Chain A
């Protein structure tokens, strides 16, 4: 078992976002998390690399309880986890190449040449060539998104957490990013959690799909099981039909 959330609770003030969320992701598996806007998907993902600490419950990553790690052991575990931020979160005072190199500088024993090499490879993988020396503010939203993706995959981590990696991309780039996620998992055996709103891409890339609803995992299953689900909440989301949601409540 490589990523496991057990009965995770998290509230921001009065607002209870996660209310007993449980999920386990096997080694090498790709699990997509779907759910409405504001349901707490990003909050959930931030627990996996310890950016947020749960109010109650356990978060296991790579055999460690990351919610209890501090200092060096926490950084040690984070080096194995790449995180793609929903809004890219690029360092705006650095060029794209420097952004992608940032994580690599924290890996002991990498020479400058190795780093430059891996930066180039990562940018090529997301189809972003020739922007090395540009600053994030000079790129389009979709390009920034891919630069954020490149920054995470450049680490060649064992785990990748993607927060809506395809939102706002054109259809061609979108399928390229899907391919990339598939390739990371097939070739490098990466264990991934992908947050997405796009059902087509969820079906394509996932081994399993989980729906986050009202702070819990509403259903979990293979793409086929989700497609055939009778649960009105799932069908409302999958088919984009608000009327079903009203019936359910």
Chain B
């Protein structure tokens, strides 16, 4: 009896937890929309947040993109050799970096770097009553803490990802001329073959939605955190897991609807 009921009960409880989280998330979004008006409170934090979320993420993003570009070039040539003309290496590196690997890999990496740090910072402020202190001093904590981060993430993810894409392509090109039987004109020919500016727009739009996702999921779990150091840890872990999942789902969704 219990063997049958326990999973059902567990599923029910999990469903309730998700529904209540979605509900609270919706409420927080409404509050955030309202807090947008308080430019005096979030304005001064926008540029510092753009630096810590965006500029400071560039090294990690470039590192990931460089190795992705190298691997793409080598694997493409390994696959194509003898069947497909080798200049298609340029096409494959460019197309996959722009459409998929640039945005998705960087987005996932930043859900760790940016999402986790946002979540733990806001959660710590919650459990040490610093958010209450902000309120007691007549600040709107959502305008002060959440809004600048979400705007900064939405604006800066496309910038970081654009640089990552460029890095990946450059790394693919350098690999081609250094390790593969390919010259620069051939690589460039392949690169231009399937290039479409719509792809770039698509990638930038997608990246912006990833930025919104990572920062608002982190803000949500941080803001609603309860229960001391463990709560902070839980908020951080959940942020990374949930924002990675949303990024992958969004990635598929945009591919299905916009391509």
Binding site for B on A (CB under 8 A): 46, 49-51, 71, 75-76, 78-79, 81-83, 85, 87, 89-92, 102-103, 106, 151, 155
Binding site for A on B (CB under 8 A): 34, 124-125, 128-130, 132-140
Contacts of A79 in B (CB 8 A): 138
**Is the Cβ of A81 less than 8 Å from the Cβ of B140?**
no
Interface centre among B125, B134, B135, B140 (most CB of A within 10 A): B135
Residue of B nearest to A49 (CB): B136
Contacts of A102 in B (CB 8 A): 134, 137, 139
When A and B form their complex, which 7 residue pairs have the shortest distance between CB atoms, in order from nearest?
A: A103-B137, A83-B136, A89-B129, A89-B133, A75-B138, A106-B138, A78-B138
**Is the Cβ of B135 less than 8 Å from the Cβ of A78?**
yes
In angstroms, Cα B124 to Cα A71, docked, is 24
**Is the Cβ of B135 less than 8 Å from the Cβ of A51?**
yes
Q: Could you say which of A75, A81, A91, A106 contacts B133, with CB atoms under 8 Å apart?
A: A91
Smallest beta-carbon distance B120→chain A, Å: 13
Contacts of A49 in B (CB 8 A): 135-136
- Provide a sorted-by-A list of 14 A–B residue pairs whose CB atoms are within 8 angstroms: A75-B138, A76-B138, A78-B135, A78-B136, A78-B138, A85-B129, A85-B132, A85-B136, A90-B133, A91-B133, A102-B137, A106-B138, A106-B139, A151-B137
Interface centre among B34, B133, B136 (most CB of A within 10 A): B136
Smallest beta-carbon distance A81→chain B, Å: 7
Interface centre among B124, B132, B135, B137 (most CB of A within 10 A): B137
Contacts of B140 in A (CB 8 A): 75
Contacts of B133 in A (CB 8 A): 83, 85, 89-91, 151
**Is the Cβ of A87 less than 8 Å from the Cβ of B136?**
no
Residue of B nearest to A82 (CB): B136
**Is the Cβ of B34 less than 8 Å from the Cβ of A87?**
no
Contacts of A90 in B (CB 8 A): 130, 133
**Is the Cβ of A92 less than 8 Å from the Cβ of B128?**
yes
Contacts of A103 in B (CB 8 A): 137-138
**Is the Cβ of A91 less than 8 Å from the Cβ of B130?**
yes
**Is the Cβ of A51 less than 8 Å from the Cβ of B136?**
yes
Residue of B nearest to A71 (CB): B34
In angstroms, Cα B129 to Cα A76, docked, is 21
In angstroms, Cα B125 to Cα A91, docked, is 8
In angstroms, Cα B257 to Cα A171, docked, is 70
In angstroms, Cα B223 to Cα A162, docked, is 25
In angstroms, Cα B137 to Cα A46, docked, is 13
**Is the Cβ of A89 less than 8 Å from the Cβ of B138?**
no
